[in-house]
A and B are shown apart, each in its own frame.
Chain A
Amino acid sequence: MTQAVTSFTPVAIVLISALAVIPISLSGRKPNLREFWTFLAGFMKLALLYTLLDPVMHGIRVEWELCQVLPGLSLQFRVDSFGLLFAFVACTLWIPTSLYCIGYMRGLNEHAQTRFFACFALALSATAGVAFAGNLLTLYVFYEILSLSTFPLVAHHQDSEARTGGRKYLTYLLGTSIGFVLPAMIITYQMTGTLEFSSLGIFSDVTKPGSLLVLLLLFLFGFAKSGLMPFHSWLPGAMVAPTPVSALLHAVAVVKVGVFCNLRVITGVFGIELLSDTSLDNVICVIAGITVILSSLIALTQDNLKRRLAFSTVGQLSYIILGAGLAESYGVKGAMLHICMHAFGKITLFMCAGAIFVATGKKYISQMVGLGRRMPFTFGAFLIGSLSVIGLPPAGGFISKWLLLTGTIESGHWYMMLVLLGSSLLNAAYFFPIIYQAFFGTAKEEDAVAIQEAPLACTLPLCFTALASIVLFFFPEPFFSLATLAVGG
């Protein structure tokens, strides 16, 4: 069995960005100093993560217990390969997004930037907390902190539109987490006496499949951040937020936390074997499949670029749940990898959307005719991002899609393969018109001359992430081995 060692590093990683909130809010007057603190925290977080990489690769589980909160249950961190993979994705992408934030916020001269950066740091510490959570209770604690700390970000503009977006955001997330996850957690605790994640699942085989189904549904829809169909509409609603928020949070941190929690529940609480024996995996596949198809269709009809990207995110998240739902090692590995690949791809797309808005003030795809020639870097990155999201070879998305497809065949859910291929086509259908129109369409006169690239601080990060998704195709090293370890281990 993997031998566990207790060390303070996971808590340090979580606390760094939380503590960074204090210097950030104190140095509100001097923006450059404030940005320095964000970067410092980002790099220190990344450095500490690397120190953890080595022990986890050798199968050592790093643990740390904060305090016993309930008899037999404590706030406990346990870093395993899957948690580390997700933390890596979140922390590496925080740094380019912070650079992008500076460019965006100063470009549009937004108000209350100190509060913005402070909440951003807090959200990241909550994400790291979820990644390292050792049991369901700690996961739930950080899940709630994340929803609350991102509310000021979503409702940043403080106008009536932001109000409705923020209200929908909080009611969905708080409502489902209290309404579904809390009772599910309590019932599981009553049934099994523990909430620890263990690779074989904690349900003894005596529990009736009926109650298992109810619990599974409560968990799936409870973690509404993963955007399964009936509870997905907060995601497009949250597009009222400034673009860096939707870039990092709604492409990487917040939605991935939802999917991460669902994966933790599926693999750690129920366990893959139990799901396949009681044929519950078909339930997951059906729900995820419906969400994939429907969201891709809706994305086709959206004219607002950010809403189209939002619906595409809903679809991609259900890929991950579908992968986990196959209850088969390839599928789960594909799902874990897709978290990382989709993160890099989708963040590039959101950054491009933001850059276009900063440079031209245009939000609607119908207005973005012929901009490609004026903004080559942005639209080039947009091309690479969409390739990664569709899953075509030069971009990293291809690997995870490939694993997902092999997973569908291995686990015998061949109809799922049809769903995957069909939705990939739909993805292509709603991305390529934008690119084609941008590069080959003829721009209107006043656009043709006035437009030029967004400020450097915006274009640099999106090129970096676009390049990263290309590099990941050829060299997916830290993530791939972590995923194999997570599934194999």
Chain B
Amino acid sequence: MDQLPILIIVFPLFTAFALTLLGWFRPAVCQPLTVVGLLGSSLSAIATLAQVVNSGPISYHLGGWAPPFGIEYRVDALNAMVLMMVSSVALLVAVYARKPVQKELGGKISNFYTLFILLVTGLLGITITGDAFNLYVLLEIAALTSYALIALGRGRAYMATFNYVILGTVGACFYLLGVGFLLIKTGTLNMVDIGSIVPSLSGSRAILVAFAFLMMGCWLKMALFPFHGWLPNAYTNAPTAVSCLVAPLMTKVSVYVMLRIMFTMYSVDWVFSVITWKPLVMALAVIAILMGSCFALAQRNIKRMLTYLIVAEIGYMVGGAWLGNASGYIGASYHILADGLMTVCLFMVVGSIVYKRGRAHIEDFKGAFSTMPWTMGAFILGALSMIGVPPTCGFFSKWYLLSGAYQSGDYAFGVALLLSSLINAVLFIRIVETAFFSATSDEEPDPHSHQETCYADSPPSMLLPLWASALALLAMGLYSSEIVTRWIQPVIPGGLL
């Protein structure tokens, strides 16, 4: 059935209308409606992925017009994979968000779910579109919805969101400027079309400046090192359900956009031989990894610590993409999936702790193993994946990134990866220690007394998605060679050796 690609967008879009209209009268219906919409979207995403893997890339012409003149949806294995990740993570968070939203955003439930599903539509649109300008419009939709969602938090959220708005707009306008320069030199907006024209003008400076602006736009959106100022404040002050949704998806989709720009609009030999940016970008990635991990060490608030870890993970992906060899590319694209799952799992755990104990500072984890065993069980899986312990998927993305770094001789990047894994190990051991050791009270627990462990774990509607993502981490780890050979291998751009 060739209408699959557009179904991914139509399902959440029409749910958004239903939510606005119905939500006004009966807010209770919003959450199930969102889950149904996202279910439809993720099923069609999975079907698209299956179709793409079996029979090669799909090209869907919007409005019936052929590509350079109309807008085209170009779906190959890479963006089908990211589509599946985005829609399934959003589905998990939609199921998870029921209780925290009721508790934190009592009055604005229908608004929240409308913005929630429009953000997912925006992200899905960014991932699937094959047209440079359409990507800008969807970037703006995703950005606006995330501004509104984050601003739903209280007090300090407004100032954090205002900074996010300013830097987000600067990023989007840089992207628009880049597309403008491309339009001036190539005359077309379709990514693949641009890709075919760029090699012939590789000498011109306008193409170089266009690449500079596109990259600056992407890096601002994904919060790479020098441009990461807005991310920690914005994601920490956002309500729990919002940070569970925004943290795993926004930055990963921007990394995907960077990959799309580097390897579809431009070509491998343009990025790695015509311009000599590789050392600069590798340096940025290394600094991002080290800075993110060290700042995470210094945090008391676990949610803020996780946001700094996101900044470090971005360093992984950018470094992987700019290594310039096949296993670096595999590592980067595999890490988009792995990191999405890891971040959603850890943020859901923090969300459950905030839901149960009001706050997520490190002291609030005290005695969590005894009172919230299931949540902490999933936390251990997520932590293991973040550290890079084998059976989970975090290990395999580190494996590819490290072998890529070894092959291309970027030892600084390799050492940064190992150092950040060790720092992650220290971070999570510290939390496991607090959770494992002292009972909920502060004084020294008498080891021999059988303190009855009051079982006060979070409700099943929060535990099920949490465990689904934790087990998905394991499954992705075990089937990683399947993912790499069947999905990523055929998509590796030609020039990468």
Chain A interfacial positions (CB closer than 8 Å to B): 67-71, 73-75, 108-111, 137, 140-141, 144-145, 148, 152, 155, 157-160, 162-163, 166-167, 170-171, 174-175, 178-179, 182-183, 186-187, 189-190
Query: B372 to chain A: closest CB distance in Å?
Result: 15
Min C-beta distance of B157 to chain A, whole Å: 36
A186: chain B residues at CB < 8 Å are 399, 402-403, 406
In the complex, chain B residues whose CB is within 8 Å of the CB of A155 = 436-437
Complex alpha-carbon distance, A166 and B430, angstroms: 11
> What are 9 of the A-B contact pairs (CB < 8 Å)?
A69-B477, A111-B449, A141-B390, A144-B389, A159-B445, A159-B447, A171-B429, A183-B418, A186-B402
Asked, given contacts A152-B436, A174-B425, whether A158 binds B445 with beta carbons under 8 Å apart, the answer is yes
Other-chain contact of B388, A67, A162, A171, A182 (Cβ < 8 Å): A182
| Contact between B396 and A70, CB atoms less than 8 A apart | yes
Which of B403, B418, B482, B484 meets A189, CB within 8 Å?
B403
Q: Please, which residues of chain B bring their CB within 8 A of the CB of A75?
A: 478
CB neighbours (8 Å) of B407 from chain A are: 190
Contact B433 A167 (CB under 8 A): yes
Question: A178's contact among B387, B429, B478, by CB below 8 Å, is which?
Answer: B387
| Contact call A148/B384, Cβ cutoff below 8 A | yes
Taking A70-B396, A71-B484, A141-B390 as contacts, is the C-beta distance between A171 and B425 under 8 angstroms?
A: yes
Contacts between chains A and B (CB distance < 8 A), count: 95
Asked if B391 is at the interface (CB within 8 A of a chain A CB), the reply is yes
Contact flag A158-B480 (CB < 8 Å), given A137-B390, A178-B418: no
Q: Are the CB atoms of B389 and A67 closer together than 8 Å?
A: no
Task: Assess whether A141 is in contact with B391, with CB atoms less than 8 Å apart.
Answer: yes
Contacts A174-B429, A178-B425 known; A111 to B448 CB distance under 8 Å? yes
Cβ-defined contact, A70 with B402, below 8 A: no
Those 8 A-B pairs whose CB atoms lie nearest each other, nearest first: A141-B390, A174-B425, A144-B389, A157-B447, A68-B481, A186-B402, A178-B421, A186-B403
Q: Which residue of B lies closest to A177 (CB)?
A: B389
Question: Among A141, A158, A175, A179, which residue has its beta carbon within 8 angstroms of that of B447?
Answer: A158
**Min distance, Cβ A234 to any Cβ of chain B, angstroms:** 13
Asked if A182 and B398 make an inter-chain contact with CB atoms under 8 angstroms apart, the answer reads: yes
Which A residues are in CB contact (< 8 Å) with B450? 111
B426 touches A171 (CB 8 A): yes
Tell me whether A109 and B480 are in contact (CB under 8 A).
no
A109 to B448, CA, bound (A): 7
| Residue on B nearest A174 in the bound complex, by CB | B425
Q: What is the interface residue range for chain B against chain A?
A: 35 or more
Which B residue sits closest to A145, measured CB to CB?
A: B391
Evaluate contact between B425 and A110: CB separation under 8 angstroms.
no
> Which residues of the partner chain A approach B445 to less than 8 Å between Cβ atoms?
158-159
**Does B153 sit within 8 A of A, measured CB to CB?**
no
Residues in A with CB closer than 8 Å to B402 are 182-183, 186
Residues of B366-399 contacting chain A, CB below 8 A:
380, 384, 387-391, 396, 398-399
Contacts of A111 in B (CB 8 A): 447-450
Picked from A141, A170, A182, the residue with its CB within 8 Å of the CB of B429 is A170
Closest Cβ–Cβ distance, residue A409 to chain B (whole Å)? 41
In the complex, B461 has a CB within 8 A of chain A: no
Q: How far is the CA of A109 from the CA of B449 in the complex (A)?
A: 9
Q: Mark B441-466, 1 if CB is under 8 A from A, else 0.
A: 00011011110000000000000000
Whether B37 sits at the interface, judged by CB under 8 Å, is no
CA distance A157 to B437 in the complex (A): 9
Specify which chain B residues have a CB less than 8 angstroms from the CB of A69 in the assembled complex: 396, 477-478, 480-481
Min distance, Cβ B81 to any Cβ of chain A, angstroms: 17
Question: Which residues of B does A touch, CB under 8 Å?
Answer: 380, 384, 387-391, 396, 398-399, 402-403, 406-407, 414, 418, 421-422, 425-426, 429, 433, 436-438, 444-445, 447-450, 477-482, 484-485
Q: Could you tell me the dominant secondary structure of chain A's interface residues?
A: helix
Name the contact of A163 in the complex, choosing from B433, B449, B482, B485 (C-beta under 8 A).
B433
Closest Cβ of chain B to A114, distance in Å, is 11
Residues on A with beta carbons closer than 8 Å to the beta carbon of B396? 69-70
Instruction: Choose from B388, B403, B418 the contact partner of A190 (Cβ within 8 Å).
Output: B403
Chain A residues with CB below 8 A from B418, complex form: 178-179, 182-183
Interface contact A175-B422, CB-CB below 8 Å: yes
Q: Name the residue in B396, B447, B480 with the highest tally of chain A Cβ atoms < 10 Å from its Cβ.
A: B447
Q: Is the CB of B406 within 8 A of A70?
A: no
Whether A159 pairs with B388 at a CB distance below 8 angstroms is no
A179 touches B480 (CB 8 A): no
Q: Is the CB of B390 within 8 A of A179?
A: no
CB distance from A134 to the nearest CB of B (A): 15
Residues of A near B391 (CB, < 8 A) are 141, 145
The answer to whether A178 touches B422, judged by C-beta atoms less than 8 angstroms apart, is yes
Assembly CA distance A70 to B388 (angstroms): 15
Residues from chain B with a CB closer than 8 A to the CB of A190 are 403, 406-407
Query: A69-B481, A158-B447, A186-B399 given as contacts; is B388 within 8 A of A178 (CB)?
Result: yes
Which residue, A71, A162, A174, has most C-beta atoms of chain B within 10 A?
A174
Q: How far, in whole Å, are A409 and B387 apart by their CA atoms in the complex?
A: 45
Q: A70-B399, A175-B425 are in contact. Are A166 and B433 (CB under 8 A)?
A: yes
Q: Which residue of chain A is the closest to B439 with respect to CB atoms?
A: A158
Taking the closest CB of chain B, its distance from the CB of A70, in whole angstroms, is 5
**B425/A67 in contact, CB under 8 A:** no
Q: In the assembly, what is the distance between CA of A187 and CA of B449, in Å?
A: 50
Residues of B contacting A171 with CB < 8 Å?
425-426, 429
* B-chain residues with CB within 8 Å of residue A166 when the two chains form the complex: 433, 436
For B384, B429, B482, the residue with the greatest tally of chain A CB atoms inside 10 Å of its CB is: B429
A179 pairs with B422, CB closer than 8 A: yes
User: Are A67 and B478 in touch, CB under 8 angstroms?
Assistant: yes
- Residue ID in chain B nearest A176 by CB atoms: B422
Residues of chain A within 8 A (CB-CB) of B433 are: 163, 166-167
Chain B residues with CB under 8 A of A157 = 447
Complex formed: what's the CA distance from A67 to B387 in Å?
23
Chain B residues lying within 8 Å of A183, measured Cβ to Cβ, are 402, 414, 418
- Across the interface, which residues of B come within 8 angstroms of A137, CB to CB? 390
* Closest residue on chain B to residue A156 by CB atoms: B447
What chain A residues lie within 8 Å of B426 (beta carbons)? 171
Min CB distance B109 to A, Å, is 39
Contact (Cβ within 8 A) B387 A174:
yes
Which of chain B's residues have a CB closer than 8 A to the CB of A187? 406
Q: How far is the CA of A163 from the CA of B396 in the complex (A)?
A: 31
Give chain B nearest CB distance to A75 CB in angstroms: 8
Known contacts A140-B390, A152-B436, A183-B418; is-contact A160 B444 (Cβ 8 Å): yes
Q: A55 vs B445: C-alpha distance in the bound complex, in angstroms?
A: 53
Determine how close the nearest CB of chain A comes to the CB of B495; give it in whole angstroms. Answer: 21
